Structures are given as structure tokens and as C-alpha cells.
Amino acid sequence: MFVDYSRIEVKAGDGGDGSRAFRREKFVPRGGPSGGNGGAGGNVYVKSSPHLTTLLAFRYKKHFLAQRGGHGSGKNQTGKTGEALTIEVPVGTLAIDADTREIICDLNTPDQVKLLAIGGRGGRGNASFKSSTNQAPENSEPGSPGQHRNLILELKVLADVGLVGYPNAGKSTLISVISAARPAIAEYPFTTLTPNLGVVPHGEYDSFVVADIPGLIEGAHTGTGLGDRFLRHVERTRVLVHLVDVSELGPENPGAAVDVIDRELGAYRTELAEKPQILVASKMDIGDVERVKSLESFANSRGRSLVKISSVSNRGLKELKDIIVSMLGVESS
């Protein structure tokens, strides 16, 4: 199961209490105070793991608590420092403060480690309060509480290219043909319920990563359909491939369909509408002549080039990959 959003609660360990003690050994007259300080509480860290692909584990566990510091004791013994807690998440995860909406960290490379919550300071024992005017202090301090935070974990897939378009535009079929990805493919809308990643080889040595984003419809940025739940996954892509179904089952006005998706991208985040985009006429093996002409006219009126493909017959796929590679700046072998 693909889970890309979760709310969790983390708490660093409390500091240990300082000790109130006096030396009582034989042959040590006026031994004085000997209460040690408490140990510091453990911190909470987050680490990006290349071995994880989903936030599924956080569906079942929501609370994370680091170890508290040990209490101080006599003979000026300091309490043990609490053990730190490290939470592992997939690469591409953002940790956001749920109360302030501040982005704490963006873990977009493997094995990054960031501090989420700071452990409490250990309290001072009575030995720390000894002075020339207070030879036998009886006061000590409790440990301070560890930092507590409510967090949002949000996963955004890492890919070079994002496939966007209406449901059933042919995105899943395309990624299944050009890569080893095997997404669900069917004739009903919203077949793709989670982003699918595929590595596309190009030449002898080069490759790029493609993400098949679940279909978008009008109002997606407000949550209509699968909505903005998956628009976040387009944010990290460098190039968008906008597929339009030109078969008889596709939109009657292909150009208007392109405008709808472009508006949704821009309404969700302005930067998305500004990403380089390749316009693709999909399903040319069963393409409707009038729809193809309509999309060509639209592309010409907007000064946009149009790539015609058929994932079933492999028509235009090499041309599409060559264009993607040139836009990504990947050298072909």
C-alpha cells in the first residue's frame, strides 16, 4: 500500500532529576554535598532511508518517544544520558510542524539526518549549588521536559519526468512500455491510485526516472477526484509530459482539456505551470482524425510542438524519449 501522508507526534526525552545527597563515608568529616546532576534526555532525529518507498509504517504507529535521562545520584554521579531515537522515512519526505506549518526539513537525498526534537536538560544536583557562603546546600533541580512536536510527514516522489493528463489518457500504458514499471491498466477512470515510478533506459548508459501521476480533472487543486493528494508528486519533477487522448473516447475538445490541466497545475502551485512541458497526442493507433486536427490547431495557436505517439504500436516513443533527454540535458550514447 502506498501512503504518502501521515501525522505523528514526537517527544524528546525528559532530563533526569538532580540528586540531593551528602557524603557519609568514614574518616571524611564534613563530607559536604555530593548530589550529582541528572542526565540529558535523548533527542529525536529523522533519517532518509533509500530502502523505504512509503509512509505506511506511520499509519500504525503515531507516537514516538525518546528515552529520558537518568537521575543523578550520590558521590557526584551524573545520570545517564537518554538514548536518542531515530525515525527512518523514505527519501523525498518533508517533515512539517503541524502547528506552525513550518517546514522543518526536506529529506531529498539518501541518509540525511535531521534533528526533530531536543532532549530536556538534566537538573543540577545539590553539589552544584555549593559555594563559599552555602557550604551545605539542600536544594536540587528537576530535569527539564523534552521538546514535544506534532508533525506532518509528506512524501513527494523523486522523478525527472512527470506524466500528467486526464484519467485514461494512456499514462500507465506509456510507462509500462518504456520502463519496467507494471502499473494497473484498465478502461475505467482513476485506474492509477498511486504514483508509479519507472526507470527509462536511453542509449547504452543513460536513463531517467518517470512518474505516472494519477489522472487529474477540473477542480483537482481543491480535492476533486484524487485531487491535490497527488499533485504534490509533480513538484519535484523537472519536465512534464502532458498526454491527451485523441481517440473517440477522449475529450471532444482536446485543447480545452489541455487548458484545464494547465490551470489546475498553476492553481495548485505557480511553479508547476512554469515547468517545461511536452504536449503528446496519445493513442494514435485508434486516433480520431478530427480530434487530432483539433489538437494540432491548438498546439500551433499556442506555439507548442506536438508529439504523436502510440504506446501499443511504439509509434513516436523514440522521438518522445529523445526530446525528454534533450530537455533534461542527459547526453545520449
Whole-number Å distance between alpha carbons of 167 and 190? 6
150 has a pLDDT exceeding 50: yes
**Structure confidence at residue 143 (pLDDT):** 96
> Per the confidence metrics, is the pTM higher than 0.75?
no
**Structure confidence at residue 82 (pLDDT):** 96
Mind listing the pLDDT tens digit for each residue in 241-254? 999 999 998 999 99
Please state the φ and ψ torsions of residue 196, each to the nearest 5 degrees. Answer: -115, 135
Take residue 131 and report the three cell numbers written for it. Answer: 559555594
Residue of 117, 126, 116, 123 whose CA lies nearest to 144: 123
- The rounded mean pLDDT for the chain is 87
| Domains identified in the chain and CATH numbers | 5-155 (2.70.210.12), 161-328 (3.40.50.300)
332 has a pLDDT exceeding 70: no
80 has a pLDDT exceeding 60: yes
Highest mean pLDDT among 146-150, 180-184, 201-205, 227-231: 146-150
Q: What confidence tier does 102 reach under pLDDT thresholds 50, 70, 90?
A: very high
**Structure confidence at residue 230 (pLDDT):** 63
**Structure confidence at residue 187 (pLDDT):** 52
**Structure confidence at residue 309 (pLDDT):** 95
Mind listing the pLDDT tens digit for each residue in 59-76? 889 999 999 999 999 989
220 has a pLDDT exceeding 50: no
Who wins on pLDDT, 181 or 36? 36
Q: Which residues contact 129 (CB under 8 A, 6 or more apart)?
A: 33, 137, 139, 140
Return the sign of the alpha-carbon dihedral for residues 94, 95, 99, 101: negative
**Structure confidence at residue 219 (pLDDT):** 53
